[in-house]
Amino acid sequence: MAKKMHIQMTVNGEEQEFLAEPRELLIHTLRERLNITGPHIGCETSHCGACTVTINGKSVKSCTMFVAQANGAEVTTIEGLGSPDSLHVLQEAFKEHHGLQCGFCTPGMITRASKLLEEIPNPTEEEVRFGMAGNICRCTGYQNIVKSILAAAAEMSAAKEAAE
């Protein structure tokens, strides 16, 4: 067993500091150490995207990142996207357009979509499908997920235009 490392990171705006084995996977850090259970474990091989979080502005699959690699990072999970009183536009859109069923992929899906809409604010359907291809859903067949994301994009653009 390797010596424990001193780790510091910001998760959903909160400073976190702890000692951890360097081999600890970030998904376990989040779920078991910090009790942030929104991101899920679906495959442990970076394929399914259930564990997707945002790290320093990029979408990352936290099941294949060591906590040591996330030292000093800024991490955002589904829990950091909206609050019960003020949901993120994507959270509302997924509810409105039936973009989820069992809900297991949903936190990763919405977290990834939030980055996608920063990368491409007004995506085409094709861009959404390509940009979301790292996140697997077994329930919905994606049709309503794509619809939800496109609807959220339209709403966010409209809000942005109104603000300008």
Partner 1 sequence: MNKELSRQERADALGGMGCKRKRVEDARFTQGKGNYVDDIKLPGMLFGDFVRSPYAHARIKSINTDAAMALDGVVAVLTAADLAPLGLHWMPTLAGDKQMVLADGKVLFQGQEVAYVVAKDRYIAADAVELVEVEYEELEVIIDPFASLKSDVVLREDLVAEDGSLPDGAHGPRKHHNHIFTWEVGDKETTEQVIGEAEVVAEDMFYYHRTHPCPLETCGCVASMDKVNGKLTLYGTFQAPHAIRTVVSLISGIEEHNIRVISPDIGGGFGNKVGAYPGYVCSVVASIVTGVPVKWVEDRMENLMTTAFARDYWMKGKIAATKEGKITGLWCHTTADHGGFDACADPTKFPAGFMNICTGSYDIPVAYLAVDGVYTNKAPGGVSYRCSFRVTEAVYFIERMIEVLAIELNMDPAELRRINFIKKEQFPYQSALGWEYDSGDYHTAWDKALEAVDYKGLRAEQAQRVEDFKAGKTRSLMGIGLTFFTEIVGAGPVKNCDILGLGMFDSCEIRIHPTGSAIARLGTISQGQGHATTFAQILATEIGLPADSITIEEGDTDTAPYGLGTYGSRSTPVAGAATAMAGRKIRAKAQMIAAYLLEVHDDDVEFDVDRFVVKGAPEKFKTMKEIAFAAYNQAIPGIEPGLEAVSYYDPPNMTYPFGAYVCVMDIDVDTGVTDIRRFYALDDCGTRINPMIIEGQIHGGLTEALAVALGQEIAYDDMGNVKTGTLMDFFLPTAWEVPNYETDHTVTPSPHHPIGAKGVGESPHVGGVPCFSNAVNDAFKAFGLRHTHMPHDHWRIWQTANKLGLHG
CB of 126 to partner 1, least distance (A): 9
Count of residues making up the chain: 164
Measured from the CB atom, is 59 or 140 closer to partner 1? 140
Least distance between partner 1 and beta carbon 35 (Å): 8
**Pairing of β 5-11 and β 74-76:** parallel
Distance (Å, whole) CA 91 – CA 78: 9
β-pairing, 14-20 vs 52-55, is: unpaired
Measured from the CB of residue 164, what is the shortest distance to partner 1 in angstroms? Answer: 28
* Nearest partner of 54 among 9, 101, 3, 114, judged by Cα: 114
Q: Identify which of residues 101 and 162 has a Cβ nearer to partner 1 in the complex.
A: 101
Which chain residues interact with partner 1 by CB under 8 A? 21, 23-24, 28, 31-32, 35-45, 47-48, 50, 77-79, 82, 84, 87, 91, 94-96, 98, 100-107, 110, 128-130, 132-146
Burial class of residue 111 in the structure, from the number of CB atoms within 10 Å of its CB (0-12 exposed, 13-18 middle, 19+ buried)? buried
Over its C-alpha atoms, the chain yields an Rg (Å, rounded) of 16
The minimum distance between CB 77 and partner 1, in angstroms, equals 7
Between 42 and 65, CB nearer to partner 1 = 42
CB nearer partner 1, residue 54 or residue 135: 135
